[in-house]
Amino acid sequence: MSITEKIIVTDTNIITDLNNANILDKFVGLDNVYISDLVKNDEVNSKTGDLKIIDKFKTLRLTDEQLIEVSTLSSEENKLSVYDLINYILARDNDGILATGDNRLKNYSEKNGVKVIRTLKIIKLLKENNIISCKEAIKACILLKECQSTRIPEEDINNLITEFKTGLVIV
């Protein structure tokens, strides 16, 4: 999977993780990364990340039909927030990838045919597509590991660091 091939719709926990990893600007700089206008206006604040960088996100707007669907789904899917459903519908209807760290949203989206990527996969893809260097990818992982608010298991972060370091070994 290339990080530049499809529209990516992101939620706030991904933004926070990438901000804490000091690579949010690289992610936002991609031509195909979007955030819902409602999520951006209602959920994003200074705790989410650097507002100057976040303000550079391109936005997607729900149609009236999509808003009705969000309303219908929210009564059926009470474990998902309205914003989760907005992100799911935008990714689905734009044949996009949903970037989320939320397990419920991930499971729901995948069950319903929407591809999902998470923070560590984004870091890996940024590196594989030469958007960040291997050194920057390792540093991003270390910053995530040091962050108290990340939901990413430390073992997963360590595994990715090891994978990056192994790739640095020249035989």
Q: Which CATH number fits the domain that encloses residue 75?
A: 3.40.50.1010
Closest alpha carbon to 83 in 104, 97, 65: 104
Domain of residue 114: give its range: 1-171
Q: How far apart are CA 131 and CA 121, in angstroms?
A: 13
- Give pTM, 2 decimals: 0.91
Say how many domains are in the chain: 1
pLDDT by residue, tens only, the chain of 171 residues: 667 777 888 888 999 999 999 999 999 999 899 999 988 988 888 888 888 998 999 999 999 999 999 999 998 887 899 999 999 999 999 999 999 999 999 999 999 999 999 999 999 999 999 999 999 999 999 999 999 888 899 999 999 999 999 876 544
48-52, Cβ contacts within 8 angstroms, sequence gap of 24 or more = 48/12, 48/15, 48/16, 48/19, 49/15, 49/16, 49/18, 49/19, 49/20, 49/24, 50/19, 50/24, 50/25
Other Cβ atoms within 10 Å of 60 Cβ, number: 23
The residues, ordered by sequence, that sit 6+ positions from 171 with a Cβ below 8 Å of its Cβ are none
